[in-house]
Amino acid sequence: MKKRINIFLILLAGILLLSSAATIESNRNNFDLKVKLDEVASYSNVRDTKNLEVSEAAVAWHMDHIFLVVNQVSKALEQSNESDYKTKFNMKRAYVFTFNRMPRGKATAPEAARPKDNIDLNTIQMHYDQALATVDQLSNLPEKKHFNHPVLGTLNRDKTIKFLAIHTEHHLKIIRDILEDK
């Protein structure tokens, strides 16, 4: 009987440790995302800069796109039904999440995540403020809340936060490249 209790306690400790590790990972990705969003916002003063060798879009487009994606994906995550969560292996997701990068020029933004023409500073600021407030709430959602990405498949809460950080870094690299020769 004492041996069973010890085994039970070891298993319970392992479960708690794994749960804590998942929470720490989620919070770390959440923190990384906030840091990245702050960097995006720091480019406001060069928002009209373009470099056609890198992107047809100006810095402002990439900034607003990042904020729109964070806001829209977070909303989809919040509205998802946990009981519908199912995932299966996805090779493209495995690549993106293993290397923490998205290949450039392989996908186009869906219409809903494309910024409007003539992006002004007020719009960027409003979308940035919304994104920051949204990111603060993501880690509080249940783990099985999910987002269905058209290429990467179904992502639970933690994978969605990681996707948002990877996507944000993808566009930050584009912004940095646009500004490199300026």
Tens-place pLDDT, residues 73-109: 999 999 999 999 998 999 999 999 999 999 998 878 8
CA distance 135 to 120: 23
CA distance 126 to 124: 6
**Would you identify the CATH topology of the domain 27-180?**
Four Helix Bundle (Hemerythrin (Met), subunit A) (1.20.120)
Confidence of residue 135 (pLDDT cuts 50, 70, 90): very high
- Give 6-29 pLDDT, tens digit per residue: 776 676 566 656 655 544 444 455
**Strand, coil or helix: 107:** coil
DSSP structure class, residue 97: H
CB 143 within 8 A of CB 22: yes
**Rg over CA atoms, the chain:** 19
Residues 6+ apart with CB under 8 A from 172: 36, 39, 40, 66
Task: Provide the residue ranges of all domains of the chain, joining segments of one domain with +.
Answer: 27-180
What is the average pLDDT value for the chain, to the nearest integer? 88
CB 94 within 8 A of CB 162: no
CA distance 1 to 81: 41
Quick one: residue 175, left, alpha or beta (phi over 0 = left, psi -120 to 50 = alpha)? alpha
Sign of CA dihedral 97, 94, 158, 60: positive
**Strand, coil or helix: 106:** coil
CA distance 27 to 49: 33
pTM for the predicted model, two decimal places = 0.82
pLDDT at residue 5, as a whole number: 72
